Amino acid sequence: MGFVPAFAADPVSAKFFRGPYQVPFYVSIIYLSSFFILTTITPIAIIVWYTNKKKKLFLLGAIVAIILMAVSLSRGPAFSGLVLAIAIVMSFKNRLTFTLLIVLLVGVYLLSSVFYFVVGVRDFADVSGNFKDDHVFWRVVSAGTVDITDQLTFMDFFKKDPVWTYGRTILGGLVPSHYQWNPAIYTLSIVNPGEDPTTLVSGGLRLPAPIWGYVSFQWFGVIIFCFLSGFLKGILLKFTKYWIFKSGSMLIATVLIVINISVFAQISDFFILSIYALPPLFVLAFYTFRIRIE
C-alpha cells in the first residue's frame, strides 16, 4: 500500500484508508481479506506449535502475523488470536489455571483500552475526564471504551432524524465498497448528517442487536432481532460445546472454537454481516476437512 498505519504521519487516517491514504479498491480487498484470514489461522498455528514443539515455523508465523496486525493498529484482531490460544491451553489444564485465565482476560481488556496510548497514536494530555475519579488511569481506560457513548450519541441523532433501514443493512455489509446500507457507512451517516461518510476517519459504530432491530423495524424489530440472535447463538454454542467434549483434542477444540467465532458468530449476528468474513470461511472449510479425515 506504500505505508504502514502505525508509522504514518496520521496513523488513524491510515488505518481507515482516509484522506491521502486512500488506496484502490482491489488493494483494500486483498489487504482486508488477508487480514481476516490471519486473525483466523493465528490461534490455530499457535496450538499446532504447542501440541508439537518441533513445528517452530508455525510459532514464527503466528508471531509475525501478530506484529503485522499490531502495526496496522487493529488492536482486537491483532491480539485476540494469541489470547484465545492462551485461554484454550489454560482451560485444558486445571481449575487454578482457569481462574488465573479470568484475571488475565480482565487485564487484556484494560490493555486493549490503553493500546493507542502505548503505541503513541494518542496523547495522555488529550484525554478528558469521564469518571468521578479523575485519576489518569481511569481517564485513559474510559477513552478506549467508547461503545456506550457512541450508542447513546447514535440514538440521539437517530431520534432527531430517523432513517429506517427496513432490514437493508442486514445484507448491506456483503456489498463491496462504500455501499449506502453497509452497517458502518449507515451509522456514520446518521451521526454525521450532511457529511460524506467515506471521508470520515472511522470504521463505523458498534451497535448491539436491540438498536439494529429498532432502526430496522422499530420495537417489533427489537424483539425479533434479539430473539433470533440469542436463539441462534445458543444452538450454535451448544453444537460447538458438544463436539469439543467429544473430540478431547486441544487442536480440534481450537478449530471448532475458531469456527464458532468466525462463522457461527456471523450467523447469530446476522444484522452486521461482512463480506470479509467469506475468505476465512474457505480457510476454515479446509481445516474442517482435515479434522474429518483424521
Listed residue (162, 209, 210) closest to 186, CA to CA = 162
281: which residues sit within 8 A by CB, 6+ positions away? Answer: 262, 263
Residue 279 lies in a domain: yes
Residue 151 lies in a domain: yes
pLDDT of residue 226: 94
pLDDT of residue 292: 61
pLDDT of residue 125: 58
Residue 157 lies in a domain: yes
Residue 204 lies in a domain: yes
pLDDT of residue 236: 92
pLDDT of residue 51: 87
Q: Encode pLDDT of 85-132 as tens digits.
A: 988 888 888 778 878 888 888 777 777 766 666 655 565 555 554 444
Residue 193 lies in a domain: yes
Separation CA 241–CA 244 (nearest Å):
5
Give me the number of domains the chain comprises.
1
Q: Which domain holds residue 286?
A: 146-294
The pTM for the full model equals 0.75
Residue 124 lies in a domain: no
pLDDT of residue 123: 59
pLDDT of residue 139: 64
pLDDT of residue 132: 47
pLDDT of residue 237: 92
Q: Encode pLDDT of 18-48 as tens digits.
A: 778 887 877 878 888 888 888 888 999 999 8
Residue 156 lies in a domain: yes
Contact yes or no for 3/192 (Cβ under 8 A): no
The three-state secondary structure class of 275 is helix
Residue 75 lies in a domain: no
Which of the residues in the chain have pLDDT under 50?
129-132, 293
Distance of CA 228 to the CA centre of its chain: 21
pLDDT of residue 283: 82
